[in-house]
Amino acid sequence: MNLNLKKRISPHFIVGEVVKTCSEGIDTNIINNARRLAETCLEPVRNRINRPLIVNSWYRSRKYNAQVGGKRTSQHIRGEAVDLRLDADCWKIQLAQLVPLFKTYADYDQMIVESSPTAHWLHVSHTDRHANRHQYLQINTH
């Protein structure tokens, strides 16, 4: 698939962010899933927080997902999940800003606070395969 990395999928997000860590095997269906995630979850929060949501990782091929220790059923494989953070602030402050906004304004399937020994991020997903569950979890993983 020929990708235009600068193409917008929503007012604040571009294809380049969807394929930031992996573009192998991407297709239109995956881009459409990413667009739905942006429209239903990311834009409502982005518009209210009024500062960039920084993407760590969005789409992953099955192979790449396995390499980074993702679950076999990870929604990243469909483009339905994104890992993100804000710039600069300490993590507790980031969470205090982001979590209430997602809970109030986003139609998310899962929101998971994740951390590794060296990093923190918020995993947010949206699906059109079933009702979005609005599950909020905190996990130490990876």
- Is residue 109 at the binding interface for Zn ion, with CB under 5 A as the rule? no
Contacts with Zn ion in 55-94 (CB under 5 A)? 83
Give least dist CB 122 to Zn ion, A.
9
| Contact status, residue 124 vs residue 84, Cβ threshold 8 Å | yes
Token pair for residue 117? Answer: 């020994």
Stretch that binds Zn ion, among 20-28, 60-68, 118-126, 127-135 (CB under 5 A): 118-126
43 binds Zn ion (CB under 5 A): no
Q: Give the residue nearest to Zn ion (CB).
A: 123
Number of helices and strands (H, E) in the chain? 5, 7
Ramachandran sector of residue 25 (left: φ over 0; alpha: ψ -120 to 50; beta: rest): left
Q: Which is nearer to Zn ion, 78 or 123 (CB)?
A: 123
For residue 123, state whether it binds Zn ion (rule: CB under 5 A).
Answer: yes
